[in-house]
Structure 1
């Protein structure tokens, strides 16, 4: 009788374990099929010459050795570093500033949220093509208005010096998702903290620095991590702009990065090697490098986030 009673918790525990395994099985299958297998296949292909037509041929470390001599790699890294170090802070600051303005609006706050969020719903391809038309240096409405004001508008996407800032304008126009996240965080700050700051005689800037920013720091960290990962994977806008504007100037693989490789971001270079030159072995090397950098950036940011949030009220 005692043995039977003692075995009941074990049976119950075994049933719970098998139930957990059953619920986790779909996720585990998806994780293995869509992440582990492609990652391992990428590692294998990085040591081969593979053109998507013939069978993969093992060539050892040749692809990795070519990585050290690829001049286009430095261009791709430099352009991606620009969008990461300049584009991400600009978008975060602008979105947070708009969130503060909308949070203080007494009338029409719902309309403002809708107006700022709508551009985010537009497909990236359509948005990029729309900006190509808007920023057309010959007949675009932006340069037309600047001309009426006596200002000679730049060539925008057709100028290597203005191509990345023009892409940043497009991305800043589509920050509705960041604005909504920041707005929810700002509105969630306890009002008693602002009341205590008012009693201490704090002004708007001191309340922003000492109350709002510390309270929304976890949300800022989340937004920064996701924005940085998106910047490292920056592809669609640059691809659409380059291929639509290159026209007769360049054809085929050389259209990517137009003008003068100023929009040749790292993911664009990866696509160019894999699907324009059909050099899937070297493209696999670039994909692994992109994965390692993205993982490293996310890991460092999340590790630092623990320190940044440790001094928040109520943190342990």
Structure 2
């Protein structure tokens, strides 16, 4: 009798729990799971959106293998990820080191460096479009006053991606806060012991600070790569959705968007999306597989 009562109670608790979770479960199924499965199906279809999808097998995937713009967009995205992610991590880490000092009014400085990260993306893109204007932008004006070369920035295929990388470094306030929180968790007694043993600032940084900060650095590395692989809004706004000049800022996500909503090739766009998902998944798994070599978690032996 006791077992039967317990079984009834467990079933009631399970039912109540599912009822409470049902809004989330329904939302995940309708807004995440179904679109993912639908996009997988559409990637094997010719789907111009205004007509029903027609199954064509692996034609979309065979087409992208011979698509030069696919490789160009992939190369642009890889370039941005390789340079923007480390640059953002380094900038955020150096700022966190500076803002971790015991100086009067430090809260004001922390706020000043954090504010750019909460500026709306479109507004920030328009602001930087003015700053990077090759004729009357503030950056080139300063460079000319200093008698330095003034690049074409967004008007130059050679400088457009570096311009976007520079812009991305401006918004590292979120990473800075993560690093700042991590720095405040590093045991002070280790610094004191190392200083007594004669370790200099560089040695303390390499052998104490960075190992204790490695989980935070690893987290931002993974999230930075995922974000860079999906880089879209800033380049779209600053190039009017064209990815110019000369396809130099046509990132993978922009090319995906163009195929879906400009060329009406939704099936091909879904194939591109699954290629991007696979690349991100494989690289993320690689990072986690190798993380034991360079990530230290406190308490591990």
Fold shared, TM-score > 0.5 on shorter chain: yes
Contact 2:121 2:234 (8 Å CA) reproduced: yes
Q: C-alpha displacement at 1:190, in angstroms?
A: 1.8
The residue number in structure 1 matching 2:283 is: 297
- Is 68-77 or 202-211 further displaced after alignment? 202-211
Asked if 1:85 corresponds to 2:71, the answer is no
CA distance in 1, matches of 2:21, 2:95: 41
CA distance in 2, matches of 1:58, 1:216: 50
**Distance of aligned partners of 1:18 and 1:198 in 2 relative to their CA distance in 1, 3 Å threshold:** farther
CA distance in 1, matches of 2:260, 2:219: 32
User: What do residues 232-290 of structure 1 show as CA deviations (whole Å, max 9, x unaligned)?
Assistant: 100011111111xxxxxxxxxxx612101110110011011111111111001001111
CA distance in 2, matches of 1:30, 1:233: 23
Which of these residues, 38, 41, 46, is aligned with residue 44 of structure 1? Answer: 41
CA distance in 1, matches of 2:298, 2:108: 33
Q: C-alpha displacement at 1:60, in angstroms?
A: 2.1
Q: C-alpha displacement at 1:10, in angstroms?
A: 3.5
Please, what is the CA RMSD of the aligned residues?
1.8
**Distance of aligned partners of 1:201 and 1:312 in 2 relative to their CA distance in 1, 3 Å threshold:** farther
**Distance of aligned partners of 1:16 and 1:207 in 2 relative to their CA distance in 1, 3 Å threshold:** farther
Moved over 4 A (4+): 306-309
Q: How does the TM-score come out when normalised to structure 1? A: 0.89
Q: SS state of the match for residue 216, structure 1?
A: helix
The residue number in structure 1 matching 2:267 is: 281
CA distance in 2, matches of 1:21, 1:181: 35
Q: 1:102-181, aligned counterparts within 5 Å?
A: 102-181=99-178
The residue number in structure 1 matching 2:250 is: 264
Asked if 1:31 corresponds to 2:28, the answer is yes
Segments of 5+ residues of structure 2 without an aligned counterpart are none
Contact 1:218 1:305 (8 Å CA) reproduced: no
Contact 2:60 2:268 (8 Å CA) reproduced: yes
State the number of aligned residues.
301
Q: How does the TM-score come out when normalised to structure 2? A: 0.94
